[in-house]
């Protein structure tokens, strides 16, 4: 009886993970192998993170040209937008407040993904796997803060400054 | 066999049951497809917005048609603790008058703005009856943007009625009274010597909608009831119903019902404008409040105005005429062409229909039947298009469709009668439940009625709904008028007592609806634009809290250093920039209401703590999964306490948990 409950729990666990991760496992597990399970989960997470890292998200920004050096003036404008519309939920360190801290976000995500997420928030939360994963973690939908395209670009430049780009 | 028998019995019983339940009397009026016609599926939009007066609630309600679903109650003349209207520091000035702060009124009529005689979807005007005022509601924000008080008026009933390019809304006084600039301390029975009436013309700025009391016409001491502007060929004229031509000051029920005919007054307002330009107006000293709300400062200002220009018809010939109208006329409605003016005498057995062409001819021919208090009276027969014979009992109001038909409500006989303007024949009648007052056809008062539906606003519901104690629901009844015969398709309850209402195609408004107020444009002096700006400042015994709110925390959420005797002003800015995310704010023991703060807006709650202690405060509008976490504390110490002002969010932790610096 106990075993049955365990198996059911396991099945639900798998179903949940599948639902979150998307993509069917190649073959159904025959018995429970904790090591293999964890390994597979880790591999899944890594794969997802890699996909998120390469994703441009969903929205109007498909190709944003980023110079090697910082545009200080633009970063300054971005800092103003940050204070008004972002700082309530995002710290500049790696500490999570309502949303994740911004430290190193420009190395975790492409410029296009960040700018699409900040301007096309609802569609991204509904459709983009990386945005959905963040929602599962934070449990608060990121609000659309009505950033203009220029605002979004300026905030990205400010993020670059925060990540040490000179 | 047995089962067949049972089946048969069941069928029989059901049939009997259906028979016995078959609606008797009133409900016979329902036809089979009524439900489908009024049904708007979940998630689907209605065809029309219906702006309905809230009567003695003082507010304006917004329904969808044909579903009858209530979308919003717009606070106008009465305080609304739910929305902080009249409670927040920013909205209090909107209810200021020459009598000070007035928290209630009686809202009767709606007038939607027009361009070329057609709804333009910009503003809705409404009247405050008791303390005479006109309000303008912005149809982008669905909020009251402006309120202007009317001097020389008592019982502001004959308003607001609007001209075809929204040049003016007018406000006619129901009660005649001693004028504001005279000694009003007179014996009431000196009515005939001392009491006068006025009709006010309030100019509307073409771009901003801002109102300005342009001039008043000084008139004999009768009661002004309802009105309509001319349109098309009669543009430039106003028609106003008057009763109590007996000029009684007591027991009007009897004493104002003596004469066979009272009047419909015709005012040539283009002529009045010329007289004002020619300097014929007399500047009179009065006092009235003019209150304007700004969506940039998110605050209202109230200005006390001191003068009004008054035109006296005795100095201004050819400006005002009376037309005899049987008997104690109420509704006074112009048809879409502007040719016909329909008078509804509450006690009359016929409906007189006047012709604008004939009015012009009678004026040109000076075809007068003497004068009333110095104002020419046009001969009844000379201005009459004809009479609708035996239409019903107690005619009140008339609306129009685009096909030359009129619809008149009959209070006493509880029915709506459809009749033809050209030959005045009755085409159809439909029972209402019960005692119908105003009617609304979408676009009915304009040059272009949108038609399709007619709504009857009833005074009595008696047996129509589940009983709710002595006070029962007021109601609206929706008729499909797309065919030859009117078909009742829906009953729905309304707030307060519904008087006049207007309806407008949904797509004229929905596309313009404001979603957020932009933080960048917020110029409120106490705005907290970003958490960096959050602070608490003491100014004498005033403590100003510059507070921000976003899902799901306030900054600051721990406040100390307030002392008994202080007044705390919570200036809360909602930092959200997303549609449909208001935050609320409330603090324990406030002798006040909540704040409801729209995205990008700043609103202020004044709080006078009455005891020492620690007081919870929280967000009242469910905003996110962590809404229940959106809370804070404010500490109140004795007066003379040395506790300094401090404030924070997220850092005020026990000493043991605070790492050493």
The shortest C-alpha distance from B550 to chain A (Å) reads 7
CA distance B165 to B230: 11
Q: Does B548 sit within 8 Å of A84, measured CB to CB?
A: no
Chain A: give the shortest CA distance to residue B604, in Å. Answer: 19
Residue reference for tokens 């005429």: B321
Work out the average pLDDT over A84-91: 93
Note whether B550 contacts A140, CB cutoff 8 Å: no
* CA trace torsion B394, B400, B401, B405 (10° rounding): 60
In chain B, positions 446-485, which contact chain A (CB-CB < 8 Å)?
Answer: none
Q: What is the DSSP letter of B542?
A: E
State how far the Cα of B544 lies from the Cα of B218, in Å rounded to an integer. Answer: 49
Note whether residue A46 is domain-resident. Answer: yes
Has residue A79 got a pLDDT over 70?
yes
Is residue A75 a part of any domain in this protein?
A: yes
Pairing of strands B631-637, B535-539: unpaired
Residue of B nearest to A84 (CA): B530
Per the DSSP assignment, residues forming a β-bridge with A128 are none
Fold of B75-188+199-221+281-315: Methylamine Dehydrogenase; Chain H (2.130.10)
Check residue B276 and give its pLDDT.
98
- What pLDDT does B1 receive? 46
The 3-state secondary structure of A46-87, one letter per residue: HHHHHHHHHCCCCCCCCCCCCCCCCCHHHHHHHHHHHHHHHC
Mean pLDDT, chain B cut into blocks of 10 residues (661 residues total): 50 42 49 87 97 98 98 98 98 98 98 98 98 98 98 97 98 98 97 98 98 98 98 98 96 90 97 98 98 98 98 97 95 98 92 98 98 97 96 95 97 96 97 96 98 96 93 95 96 95 98 97 97 97 97 96 98 96 97 98 98 98 90 97 97 80 51
CB contact under 8 A, B578 and A144: yes
Q: What angle do CA B11, B16, B17 make, to 5 degrees?
A: 95
Does residue A67 belong to any structural domain of this protein? yes
Asked if the peptide bond before residue B102 counts as cis, ω within 30 degrees of 0, the response is no
Q: Reply yes or no on whether the pLDDT at A100 is more than 60.
A: yes
Q: What's the mean pLDDT when you consider all of chain A?
A: 83
| Identical fold between B75-188+199-221+281-315 and B527-650 | no
Q: What is the per-residue pLDDT for A13?
A: 43
Residues 6+ apart with CB under 8 A from B55: B106, B107, B108, B474, B496, B497, B498, B499
Q: Which class in CATH covers the domain with range B527-650?
A: mainly beta
Confidence of residue A39 (pLDDT cuts 50, 70, 90): confident
At residue B21, φ and ψ (nearest 5 deg) are: -90, -10
Q: B581 contacts in A (CB within 8 Å)? A: 143
Question: Taking 80 as the threshold, does the pLDDT of residue A38 lie above it?
Answer: no
| Beta-strand relationship, B436-440 and B453-458 | antiparallel
Closest CA–CA distance from residue B519 to any residue of chain A (Å): 8
pLDDT score for A42: 75
CA distances from B345 to B331, B335, B357, B419 (A): 8, 17, 22, 17
| Among the partner residues A83, A139, A143, nearest to B576 by beta-carbon distance | A143
Burial pattern B518-539, b for ≥16 Cβ within 10 A else e, equals ebbebebebbbbbbebbebeee
3-state secondary structure labels for all residues of B39-101: CCCCCCCCCEEEEEECECCCCEEEEEECCCCEEEEECCCCCECCCCECCCCCCHHHHEECCEE
Show the tokens assigned to B369: 């039947």
Q: What is the CATH number of the domain that holds A64?
A: 1.10.760.10
Cα separation of B338 and B235, whole Å? 8
Q: Confirm if B222 and B325 have CB atoms less than 8 A apart.
A: no
Contacting B residues, span 538-577, partner chain A, CB-CB under 8 Å = 548, 550-553, 555, 575-577
A143 contact residues in B (CB cutoff 8 A): 550-551, 576-578, 581
Q: Which residue of B has its CA nearest to A147?
A: B577
Range of the domain at A55: 33-166
A116, part of any domain: yes
Using one digit for the tens of pLDDT, what is the confidence trace for A55-64?
999 999 999 9
Q: What's the longest Cα–Cα distance across chain A?
A: 67
Structurally, chain A folds into a number of domains equal to 1
Confirm whether A79 is domain-assigned.
Answer: yes
Is residue A28's pLDDT more than 70?
no
- What is the model's pTM? 0.89
Domain residue limits, chain B: 75-188+199-221+281-315, 527-650
pLDDT tens, position by position, B355-393? 999 999 999 999 999 999 999 999 999 999 999 999 999
Query: Is residue B16 classed as helix, strand or coil in its secondary structure?
Result: helix
Residue B255, both tokens: 């004493």
ipTM above 0.85, yes or no: no
Residues of chain A contacting B550 with CB distance shorter than 8 Å? 88-89, 98, 143
């Amino acid at each position: 009886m106990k075993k049955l409950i365990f198996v059911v729990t396991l099945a639900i666990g798998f179903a949940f993970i599948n639902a979150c991760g998307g993509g069917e496992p190649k073959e159904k597990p025959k018995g429970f192998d904790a090591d293999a399970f964890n390994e597979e989960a880790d591999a899944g997470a890594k794969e997802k993170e890699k996909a998120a890292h390469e994703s441009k998200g969903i929205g109007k920004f498909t190709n944003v040209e980023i110079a090697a050096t910082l545009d200080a003036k633009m970063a300054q404008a971005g800092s103003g937008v940050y204070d008004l519309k972002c700082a309530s939920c995002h710290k500049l360190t790696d500490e999570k407040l309502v949303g994740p801290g911004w430290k190193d976000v420009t190395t975790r995500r492409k410029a296009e993904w960040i700018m699409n997420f900040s301007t096309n928030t609802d569609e991204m939360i509904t459709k983009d796997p990386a945005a959905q994963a963040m929602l599962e973690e934070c449990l608060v939908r990121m609000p659309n803060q009505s950033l203009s395209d220029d605002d979004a670009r300026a905030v990205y430049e400010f993020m670059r400054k925060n990540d040490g780009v000179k | 066999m047995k089962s067949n028998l049972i089946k048969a019995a069941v069928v029989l019983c059901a049939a009997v049951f259906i028979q016995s339940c078959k609606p008797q009397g009133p409900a016979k009026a329902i036809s089979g497809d009524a439900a489908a016609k009024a049904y708007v599926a979940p998630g689907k939009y209605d065809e029309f917005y219906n702006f309905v007066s809230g009567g003695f609630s003082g507010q304006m309600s917004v329904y969808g048609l044909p579903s009858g679903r209530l979308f919003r109650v717009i606070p106008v003349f009465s305080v609304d603790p739910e929305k902080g209207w009249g409670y927040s520091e920013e909205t209090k000035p909107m209810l200021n008058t020459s009598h000070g702060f007035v928290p209630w009124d009686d809202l009767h009529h709606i007038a939607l703005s027009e361009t070329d005689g057609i709804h333009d979807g910009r503003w809705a005007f409404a009247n405050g009856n008791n303390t005479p005022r006109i309000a303008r509601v912005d149809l982008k924000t669905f909020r009251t943007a402006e309120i202007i008080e009317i001097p020389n008026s008592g019982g502001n009933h004959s308003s607001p009625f609007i001209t075809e390019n929204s040049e003016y809304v007018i406000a006619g006084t129901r009660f005649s009274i001693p004028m504001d600039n005279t000694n009003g301390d007179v014996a009431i029975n000196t009515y005939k010597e001392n009491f006068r009436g006025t009709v006010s013309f309030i100019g509307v700025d073409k771009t901003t909608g801002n109102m300005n009391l342009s001039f008043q016409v000084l008139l004999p001491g009768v009661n002004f009831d309802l009105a309509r502007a001319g349109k098309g060929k009669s543009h430039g004229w106003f028609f106003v119903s008057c009763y109590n031509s007996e000029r009684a000051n007591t027991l009007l029920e009897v004493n104002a019902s003596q004469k066979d005919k009272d009047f419909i007054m015709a005012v040539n307002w283009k002529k009045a404008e010329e007289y004002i330009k020619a300097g014929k107006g007399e500047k009179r000293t009065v006092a009235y409040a003019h209150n304007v709300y700004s969506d940039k400062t998110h605050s209202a200002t109230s200005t006390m105005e001191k003068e009004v220009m008054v035109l006296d018809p005795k100095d201004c010939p050819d400006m005002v005429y009376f037309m005899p109208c049987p008997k104690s006329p109420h509704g006074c409605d112009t048809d879409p062409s502007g040719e016909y003016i329909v008078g509804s005498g509450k006690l009359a057995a016929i409906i007189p229909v006047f012709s604008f062409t004939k009015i012009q001819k009678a004026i040109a021919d000076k075809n007068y039947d003497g004068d009333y208090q110095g104002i020419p009276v046009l001969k009844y027969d000379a201005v009459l298009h004809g009479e609708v014979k035996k239409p019903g009992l107690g005619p009140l109001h008339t609306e129009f469709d685009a096909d030359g038909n009129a619809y008149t409500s009959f209070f006493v006989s509880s029915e709506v009668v459809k009749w033809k303007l050209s030959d005045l024949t009755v085409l159809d009648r439909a029972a209402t439940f019960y005692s119908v007052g105003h009617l609304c056809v979408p676009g009915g008062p304009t040059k272009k009625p949108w038609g399709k539906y007619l709504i009857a606003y009833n005074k009595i519901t008696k047996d129509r709904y589940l009983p709710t104690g002595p006070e029962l629901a007021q109601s609206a009844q929706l008729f499909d008028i797309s065919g030859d015969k009117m078909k009742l398709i829906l009953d729905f309850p309304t707030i307060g007592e519904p008087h006049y209402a207007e309806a407008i195609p949904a797509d004229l408004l929905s596309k313009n609806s404001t979603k957020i107020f932009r933080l960048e444009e917020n110029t409120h002096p106490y705005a907290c634009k970003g958490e960096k700006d959050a602070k608490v400042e003491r100014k004498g015994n005033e403590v100003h809290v510059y507070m921000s709110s976003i899902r799901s925390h306030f900054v600051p959420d721990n406040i100390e250093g307030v002392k008994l005797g202080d007044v705390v002003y919570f200036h809360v800015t909602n930092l959200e920039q997303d549609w449909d995310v208001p935050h609320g704010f409330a603090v324990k023991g406030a002798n006040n209401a909540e704040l409801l703060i729209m995205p990008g807006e700043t609103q202020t709650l004044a709080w006078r703590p009455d005891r020492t202690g620690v007081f919870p405060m929280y967000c009242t509008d469910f905003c996110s999964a962590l809404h229940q976490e959106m809370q804070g504390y404010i500490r109140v110490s004795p007066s003379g306490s040395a506790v300094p002002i401090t404030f924070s969010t997220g850092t005020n932790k026990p000493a043991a948990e605070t790492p050493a610096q």
